[in-house]
Amino acid sequence: MDKIKHKDAIKMIKRNDFAELVSNIGKYASKNTENLIITAVIAVIIIVAIPVIMNFKKTNEVKAERLLSEANFYINRPVVEDSNMTMYGFFRSKKEKYEKAIQTYLEVISKYKGTSQAPAAYLGAANAYYNNGMYKEAIEYFDTFIQKYKGSVLYPEALSGRGYASYQTGNYQEAVNAWQDTKVFEKSSNSTDVKLKLADCYVKLNNKQKALDIYTKIAEEKKGTLWASVAAEKLKEIKL
């Protein structure tokens, strides 16, 4: 019998190993056909679904933005007490104007709550309710905004509005709760107005010392402005 050379034996082992590998793959495929099909289907769904979802979100963003612009447009329309002017987009009363804006803001909230326009819609609805004298409803939407969007750049405006709405209802302690962290309002255009109102709340709550401290600081820091004049008058009233 001829001896098998070492290199030929290695080749045979490699061929046998490869054949065994192919055989094992075949057996695995036959046993796991269902799993492979499911995996393939999931992969196809993911590949197809992701672009669809992204497109859906983009479409919703556009729709929400349009509705929000529409609501803001209503807010800025003038009120003309003439029924003939409605055809030109004017409102016959403040009530009619704000109700239309609120309806549109709420449509953004209900249909597109997951979009980036939702925070502005909540705040828009709250402000519209406030300007329409509906302070209880305004507080509800200010509170929702404050709870949901604390990290928003609009947060100081929402907190400010919450305080004003509470002030209008005579709940001065709630107004203080909203306004007492005055650092939140430092970069806001109405920061000094908020501080003046906060001091007014302290007067109403019979905490005159805190009111005096705020009025004095405004009178010193805003010297030569209307705010300083108002603060100075308030100081005279407290000292009487």
The two most distant CA atoms of the chain are separated, in Å, by 128
How many helices and strands (H and E) does the chain possess? 10, 0
Query: Residue 13: pLDDT band by 50, 70, 90 thresholds?
Result: very low
- Domain presence at residue 90: yes
- Domain presence at residue 223: no
- Domain presence at residue 87: yes
- Lowest-confidence pick of 11-15, 114-118, 215-219: 11-15
* Domain of residue 127, CATH code: 1.25.40.10
Look at residue 176 in the predicted model and tell me its pLDDT.
97
Query: Residues 12-34: what's their mean pLDDT?
Result: 56
Q: Indicate left, alpha or beta for 133 from its phi (over 0: left) and psi (-120 to 50: alpha).
A: left
Q: Which two tokens stand for residue 98?
A: 């704000």
Sequence letter at residue 47: I
Number of structural domains (the chain) is 1
Range of the domain at 116: 8-179
Query: Residues 64-86: what's their mean pLDDT?
Result: 82
- Domain presence at residue 114: yes
Look at residue 113 in the predicted model and tell me its pLDDT.
86
- Domain presence at residue 222: no
Beta bridge partners of 46: none
Q: Give the pLDDT confidence of 124-171 residue by residue, as tens digits.
A: 999 999 999 999 999 999 999 999 999 999 999 999 999 999 999 999
